[in-house]
Amino acid sequence: MNLACISGRVANINEFEKCVIVAVALPIYNRKEQREDVTFIDCIGFGSTKDFITKHFQKGKYIEIKGYLKKTEHNGNYSTAIMIEEASFCGAKKD
């Protein structure tokens, strides 16, 4: 089963005609250098999920995403993104 669940802050939202691409910032701990880093995960949503994200989220808001991983290729470059099946609010109400 290919299931991905992440929660983090919205770093960027790119809205297109048929989809939305959300970059989610996730804090990670680098054990080798003993410091915190940030990694960005691209998440892609369609249909009602696209409408929900563009209406309720903006840069800096916490988001929780459930979906599946998909490897894509564009001009010989490969990348992995999460295809959003469900997006929801996360964190404090005032945030």
pLDDT (tens, 9 = 90+) of the chain, 95 residues, equals: 789 999 999 999 999 999 999 999 988 888 888 888 889 999 999 999 999 999 999 999 999 999 999 998 878 899 899 999 999 998 766 65
Range 4-21+31-85: architecture per CATH: Beta Barrel (2.40)
Please give the backbone phi and psi of residue 16, each rounded to the nearest 5 degrees, phi first: -120, 180
What pTM was computed for the model? 0.83
Q: Residue 69, SS3?
A: strand
Question: How far apart are alpha carbons 81 and 68 in whole angstroms?
Answer: 8
- Amino acid in the structure at residue 50: K
Tokens for 69, please give them.
């991983």
Residue located via tokens 């999920």: 49
Question: How far apart are alpha carbons 14 and 89 in whole angstroms?
Answer: 19
